[in-house]
Amino acid sequence: MLLRRFYHDTIAQASYMLGCQATGEALIIDPNRDIDLYIQAAEREGVRITGVTETHIHADFVSGAYELAQRTGAQLYLSGAGPADWQYAFAAAANAILLHDGDLIKVGNVRVNVLHTPGHTPEHIAFLVTDAAHTEQPIGVFTGDFVFVGDVGRPDLLERAAGIAGTMEAGASQLFHSLQRFKQLPDHLQIWPGHGAGSACGRALGAVPQTTLGYERLTNWALQIDDEQEFVANVLRDQPTPPPYFAQMKRINKLGPALRPSALPAALTLNDLQHLRESGVQLVDARSAPLYASGHIPGSINIPVGDAFVTWAGWLLSYAQPIALIAEPETWHRLHTELLIIGLDNLVGLGAPALIAAWQAAGEPLTTFARQPAERVYAELQQRDATLVDVRTPSEYASGHLPQSQNIPLGQLAMRLNEIPRDRPVLVYCQSGGRSPIAASLLTANGWSQVQEMCDGFAGWQAARYPTSAQSMLS
């Protein structure tokens, strides 16, 4: 048996290749849209991809299953479990084989038994694997978003992300019963989950790549609750707000993802940029926060290159409008791939930072904002009033914040701009200076002219022992 794991760090997503070295066959499980990764891996391992499948209709990335099956000629397997109104709309056109509880997929000498595990979603399935060339005992389970290391999948996403009302409690009850059945399997089973730490598909996922059922029995809170109502209350409590792009992913993956664009968009000229701005393009400046703050094209927002790029792109960018990027050319391919992973296919142009210098040389203005450490911010707040905006999560804010600050999480800021006065200075801050520059960019892009950002965040404020929460700022 051959097993390979692929991990996309920026969305904390795992996919897998399961193969039989004796016959040279391989099954890909939960592929994302970067399908060249799996094709190249199969070539390296000397196997051919004969099957492609996934555990459920994903909410956090565009599935690559359909396109990978098309590219390789492999058989596509999709869940046929769950209610009629939550089925793959493209399954028949894709000649997919629909899977139900108890079905079997053979990958050479490896057997893959299908388990219907509803709860995270109604159609969710898991794959129980047996290396039949050596034993009749199963070796492990691909659990998708059913069971993670230290946690279980969220049953609230259909309601909170996809807008399907009244599904949270029912999903939580289904998840409880799926877990009771799952706990009947042997302790030695390895668990290969679909996500790791940082994913919004669970509440508190562990960072190790795999676990065992026996270990999860000892450490996973969800496997230790035997009362259904207690479980339902616990699994729905304190779940983080899902990004708005999750609803788009559900729709795209249910109806059928388009084939991804194969080439980078053209490099932008100054004339292109001026025309795109006039036509309503979403202009994203992916340079570092200090460079952006020191001068940027009016109307652009700052989402710096890094692991959080795809997250904030999903939170802040519209699927209905074209996107243009300004970034170093060596990052263009990476950023394009990240946008495609979450279905933002409407990238129409890429510009190098030199485009900003050309813009200024042409007599066009640049916009700036101040980035100040906590020490400077504290001194200035003794001299003048300002609107203080904390863009951290509600739980972070509740644990301590600047006095008189208001909490508007970064992901909600674009929708709540009307809560921020325009006629006075605005200070934005986060925990350590990663989110606040993006918040400041949203404000300047929307016309706020007196914006300041605390570059070392609440961590810097606390380190300096300045007053927090309800304490007075006056010494």
Task: Inform me whether the pLDDT recorded for 360 exceeds 60.
Answer: yes
The residue-averaged pLDDT of 275-288 equals: 95
Considering the domain architecture, whether residues 133 and 42 belong to the same structural domain is answered as yes
Q: What's the rounded Cα separation, in Å, for the pair 242 and 117?
A: 22
Name the domain boundary from 333, 361, 389.
Answer: 361
With the C-alpha atoms ordered 305, 310, 316, 322, is the resulting torsion angle positive or negative? positive
One-letter amino acid of 209: P
Considering the domain architecture, whether residues 135 and 68 belong to the same structural domain is answered as yes
Considering the domain architecture, whether residues 313 and 388 belong to the same structural domain is answered as no
Asked whether 54 and 99 are in contact (CB, 8 A), the reply is no
CB-CB neighbours of 255 under 10 Å: 12
Considering the domain architecture, whether residues 285 and 343 belong to the same structural domain is answered as yes
- List, in order, residues 6 or more apart from 142 with CB less than 8 Å away: 16, 18, 29, 30, 55, 126, 127, 129, 192, 194
Q: Is 474 part of a structural domain of the chain?
A: no
One-letter amino acid of 279: S
Q: Count Cα neighbours of 235 within 13 Å in the Cβ-side half-sphere.
A: 36
Query: Structural domain of residue 140, as residue ranges?
Result: 2-255
In the three-class reduction of DSSP (H, G, I as helix; E, B as strand; rest coil), residue 452 is classed as: strand
Q: Is 471 part of a structural domain of the chain?
A: no
Q: Which residue has the tokens 């009362």?
A: 227
Residues 239-268: pLDDT tens digits? 888 888 999 999 999 999 999 887 899 899
CA 97 to chain centre: 28
Task: Inform me whether the pLDDT recorded for 473 exceeds 60.
Answer: no
Closest-CA residue to 188 (of 222, 152, 138, 150): 138
Q: Is 469 part of a structural domain of the chain?
A: no
Domains contained in the chain, number: 3
Q: What's the rounded Cα separation, in Å, for the pair 47 and 212?
A: 27
Considering the domain architecture, whether residues 290 and 250 belong to the same structural domain is answered as no
Quick one: pLDDT at residue 474?
A: 40
Q: Which residue has the tokens 């100040």?
A: 372
Partnered with residue 192 across adjacent β-strands are 142
Name the domain boundary from 199, 229, 255.
Answer: 255
Any catalytic annotation for residue 455? no
Q: What's the rounded Cα separation, in Å, for the pair 120 and 171?
A: 6
44 backbone φψ class: left, alpha, beta (φ>0; ψ -120 to 50): alpha
With the C-alpha atoms ordered 88, 81, 125, 223, is the resulting torsion angle positive or negative? positive
Q: Is 473 part of a structural domain of the chain?
A: no
Name the domain boundary from 361, 387, 420.
Answer: 361
Asked whether 175 and 235 are in contact (CB, 8 A), the reply is yes
Q: Where are the beta strands (DSSP E) in 320-383?
A: 323-326, 347-351, 370-372
Considering the domain architecture, whether residues 353 and 250 belong to the same structural domain is answered as no
Q: Is 263 part of a structural domain of the chain?
A: no
Task: Inform me whether the pLDDT recorded for 147 exceeds 70.
Answer: yes
Tokens of 135: 């034993």
Considering the domain architecture, whether residues 41 and 97 belong to the same structural domain is answered as yes
309-316 vs 436-445: helix axis angle to the nearest 10?
30
- List, in order, residues 6 or more apart from 271 with CB less than 8 Å away: none
Residues 398-429: pLDDT tens digits? 999 999 999 999 999 999 999 999 999 999 99
Considering the domain architecture, whether residues 375 and 329 belong to the same structural domain is answered as no
Considering the domain architecture, whether residues 375 and 226 belong to the same structural domain is answered as no
Q: Is 475 part of a structural domain of the chain?
A: no
Burial class (CB in 10 A: 0-12, 13-18, 19+), 24: middle
Lowest mean pLDDT, pick from 106-115, 174-183, 381-390: 381-390
Q: What's the rounded Cα separation, in Å, for the pair 144 and 174?
A: 16
- Identify the CATH number of the domain in which residue 206 sits: 3.60.15.10
In the three-class reduction of DSSP (H, G, I as helix; E, B as strand; rest coil), residue 15 is classed as: strand
Considering the domain architecture, whether residues 91 and 163 belong to the same structural domain is answered as yes
Own/partner long-range contacts of 357-360 (Cβ < 8 Å, ≥24 apart): 358/270, 359/270, 359/273, 359/297, 360/295
The residue annotated as part of the active site, out of 20, 201, 430, 455, is: 430
Q: Is 227 part of a structural domain of the chain?
A: yes
Residues 178-221: pLDDT tens digits? 999 999 999 999 999 999 999 988 888 999 999 999 999 999 99
Quick one: pLDDT at residue 470?
A: 57
- List, in order, residues 6 or more apart from 396 with CB less than 8 Å away: 390, 431, 458
The residue-averaged pLDDT of 64-74 equals: 98
% the chain with pLDDT above 70: 99
Q: Is 201 part of a structural domain of the chain?
A: yes
The residue-averaged pLDDT of 454-460 equals: 97
What is the enclosing helix (H) or strand (E) of 228? helix 228-236
Considering the domain architecture, whether residues 31 and 134 belong to the same structural domain is answered as yes
Task: Inform me whether the pLDDT recorded for 345 exceeds 50.
Answer: yes
Tokens of 450: 């007196």
Quick one: pLDDT at residue 472?
A: 44
Largest CA distance in the chain: 77
Burial class (CB in 10 A: 0-12, 13-18, 19+), 169: middle
Q: What's the rounded Cα separation, in Å, for the pair 152 and 296?
A: 43
- Identify the CATH number of the domain in which residue 352 sits: 3.40.250.10
Considering the domain architecture, whether residues 390 and 327 belong to the same structural domain is answered as no
- The DSSP-derived string for 373-404 is -HHHHHHHHTTS--EEEE-S-HHHHHT---TT
